[in-house]
């Protein structure tokens, strides 16, 4: 029997796991309820596009927000930011039961809460080595990632059922209550806060200068790397994915004959596919990365085209299987970055890359909203499937990308290290 590592039973790690667990429950419900509420208030897929535009715009701004995590005590940042998010979400039922809700108000709140998420996620990643020690970081990350992926499957699927039983507004109250509980749990942290006293700026001008120095560091690291050559492909994938996810609420209602729970089932199916991809990634990492991407994404495209046309059960199965390639590419690319980038730059580099890759998402959300308003929701799912096949053809036609070796032998930052 495998012995449990001592850090697993450490007080602060248990607090972090508890916070991640409850936050996963709340965010799972919110991810379903928020989009369905927009659809209910507007009656239009076009507004779903505006909602995804707001959320994806916050993702694009992540590189501007992440450095702010270093300018406050980590514990305070987690406690107050989650509590403020809860207060913001409580205004939705307050207005609903009094003056009434406006769809643009809900879309604005989706944007604001997404901004707060861009602030708290880097803090959770940063405090992990403080809590468990650097020697246990890989295993601790594995625990947390398993919890997050498992909860995405269970809670998002469960969210659809909860919303069907109680409605979208009570579901948002549940999310806000979960955030209050997370704030209370995180207030129990007792880890030693790193001393930033010597690094604190003495004036507003020096604070701004510190901020921009931190900001430039991430950009400089990837400026002349292979990553920049791959970003165009990642942007294209994100545009296609957002076109699909913008229409997923309406597509799910169409496939499920109006049953709201089906939306949660489709989101859970995607999470399950991504988790399967994450599990398979160590087994396929020895395959040439170029060929792996080409063949897996051709498969994704074909399966998602099938998901757009087939009946509900077959559609959900193909939707799940098509997401496996997303899980594989996420794990392989970001694991490679974590292995090759100096520890001090990992957070900033990943934030810059994810922000850059998100650049096309606001555009994709507007395109998805237009397509959903003009055509049946299934058309957008078909467009996403076709886009994945086109993406594979692009990699196949590029000799540089097609011939990429296995991920362990790709040196993503050769140029940067040569100049360092």
Q: Are 247 and 175 members of one domain?
A: no
Angle at CA of residue 34, ends 32 and 40, nearest 5°: 100
Confidence of residue 181 (pLDDT cuts 50, 70, 90): very high
Q: Are 183 and 240 members of one domain?
A: no
Q: Are 186 and 296 members of one domain?
A: no
How many Cα neighbours within 13 Å face the side chain of 1?
2
At residue 256, what are phi and psi to the nearest 5 degrees? -95, 15
- List, in sequence order, the alpha helices (H) in 187-310: 204-222, 226-255, 261-284, 289-309
Long-range contacts for 342-345 (Cβ within 8 Å, ≥24 apart)? 345/217, 345/218, 345/221
Q: What is the mean pLDDT of residues 274-282?
A: 79
Do the domain assignments include residue 170? yes
Confidence of residue 289 (pLDDT cuts 50, 70, 90): confident
Q: Which of 384, 264, 368, 382 is nearest to 325 (CA)?
A: 384
Last residue of a domain, one of 176, 191, 206: 191
Q: Supply the CATH number for residue 172's domain.
A: 1.20.1250.20
Q: Is residue 171 helix, strand or coil?
A: helix
Lowest mean pLDDT among 103-117, 138-152, 372-386: 138-152
Q: Are 266 and 404 members of one domain?
A: yes
Confidence of residue 416 (pLDDT cuts 50, 70, 90): very low
Query: What pLDDT shows up at residue 178?
Result: 92
Query: What pLDDT shows up at residue 193?
Result: 66
Last residue of a domain, one of 171, 191, 211: 191
Structure tokens at 51: 């909602």
Q: Which of 126, 135, 129 is nearest to 214 (CA)?
A: 126
d(CA 330, CA 280): 12
Q: Are 378 and 246 members of one domain?
A: yes
Lowest mean pLDDT among 21-30, 181-190, 199-208: 199-208
d(CA 20, CA 5): 19
d(CA 324, CA 277): 4
Q: Are 300 and 414 members of one domain?
A: yes
Do the domain assignments include residue 352? yes
Q: Are 339 and 293 members of one domain?
A: yes
Do the domain assignments include residue 252? yes
d(CA 270, CA 23): 19
Q: Are 356 and 397 members of one domain?
A: yes
Q: Which of 57, 40, 30 is nearest to 242 (CA)?
A: 57
Confidence of residue 417 (pLDDT cuts 50, 70, 90): very low
Q: Which of 303, 342, 338, 343 is nearest to 324 (CA)?
A: 303
The H or E element that residue 118 is part of is: helix 103-132
Q: Are 378 and 233 members of one domain?
A: yes
What is the rounded (10 degree) CA torsion for 280, 282, 288, 290? 60
d(CA 55, CA 114): 6
Q: In the chain, how many domains are there?
A: 2
Q: Which domain holds residue 129?
A: 9-191
Q: Are 31 and 171 members of one domain?
A: yes
Higher pLDDT, 330 or 305: 305
Is residue 415 packed enough to be buried (19+ CB in 10 Å), middle (13-18) or exposed (0-12)?
middle
Block residue for tokens 């509420």: 37
The pTM of the full predicted model, rounded to 2 decimals, is 0.69
Query: Mind listing the pLDDT tens digit for each residue in 332-372?
Result: 776 666 566 665 566 567 667 777 777 777 788 888 888 88
In this predicted structure, the answer to whether residue 19 has a pLDDT above a threshold of 70 is yes
Q: Are 50 and 140 members of one domain?
A: yes
Q: Are 76 and 175 members of one domain?
A: yes
- List, in sequence order, the alpha helices (H) in 358-413: 361-374, 377-397, 399-402
Do the domain assignments include residue 208? no
d(CA 43, CA 39): 5
Do the domain assignments include residue 412? yes
d(CA 291, CA 406): 9
Query: Mind listing the pLDDT tens digit for each residue in 24-71?
Result: 778 777 877 887 888 888 887 778 778 877 877 777 777 677 667 666
Last residue of a domain, one of 191, 209, 237: 191
Do the domain assignments include residue 217? no
């Amino acid at each position: 029997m495998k012995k449990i590592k001592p850090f697993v039973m450490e007080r602060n790690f248990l607090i972090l796991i508890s916070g991640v667990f409850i936050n996963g429950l709340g965010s799972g419900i919110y991810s379903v309820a928020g989009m369905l509420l927009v659809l209910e208030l507007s009656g239009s897929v076009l507004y779903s596009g505006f909602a995804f535009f707001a959320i994806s715009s916050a993702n694009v701004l992540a590189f501007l927000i992440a450095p702010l995590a270093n300018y406050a005590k980590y514990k305070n940042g987690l406690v107050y930011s989650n509590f403020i998010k809860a207060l913001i979400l409580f205004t939705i039922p307050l207005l609903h039961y009094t003056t009434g809700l406006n769809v643009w108000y809900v879309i604005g709140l989706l944007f604001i809460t997404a901004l707060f998420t861009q602030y708290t996620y880097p803090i959770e990643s940063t405090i992990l080595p403080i809590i468990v020690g650097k020697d246990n970081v890989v295993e601790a990350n594995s625990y947390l990632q398993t919890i997050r992926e498992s909860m995405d499957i269970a809670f998002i699927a469960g969210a659809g059922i909860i919303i069907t039983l109680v409605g979208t507004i009570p579901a948002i109250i549940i999310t806000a209550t979960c955030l209050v509980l997370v704030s209370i749990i995180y207030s129990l942290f007792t880890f030693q806060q790193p001393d930033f006293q010597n690094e604190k700026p003495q004036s507003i001008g020096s604070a701004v200068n510190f901020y921009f120095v931190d900001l430039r560091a991430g950009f400089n690291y990837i400026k002349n790397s292979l990553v920049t050559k791959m970003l165009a492909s990642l942007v294209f994938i994100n545009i296609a994915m957002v076109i699909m996810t913008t229409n997923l609420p309406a597509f799910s209602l169409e496939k499920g004959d109006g049953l709201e729970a089906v939306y949660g089932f489709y989101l859970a199916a995607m999470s399950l596919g991504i988790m399967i991809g994450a599990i398979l990634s160590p087994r396929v990492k020895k395959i040439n990365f170029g060929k792996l991407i080409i063949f897996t994404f051709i498969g994704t495209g074909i399966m998602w085209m099938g998901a757009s046309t087939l009946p509900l059960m077959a559609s959900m199965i193909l939707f799940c299987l098509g997401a496996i390639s997303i899980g594989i590419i996420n794990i392989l690319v970001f694991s490679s970055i974590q292995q090759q980038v100096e520890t001090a730059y990992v957070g900033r580099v990943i934030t810059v890359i994810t922000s850059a890759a998100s650049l096309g998402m606001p555009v994709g959300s507007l395109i998805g909203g237009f397509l959903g308003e003009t055509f049946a929701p299934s058309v957008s799912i078909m467009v996403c499937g076709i886009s994945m096949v086109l993406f594979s053809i692009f990699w196949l036609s590029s000799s540089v990308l097609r011939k990429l070796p296995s991920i362990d032998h790709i040196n993503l930052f050769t140029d940067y290290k040569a100049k360092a």
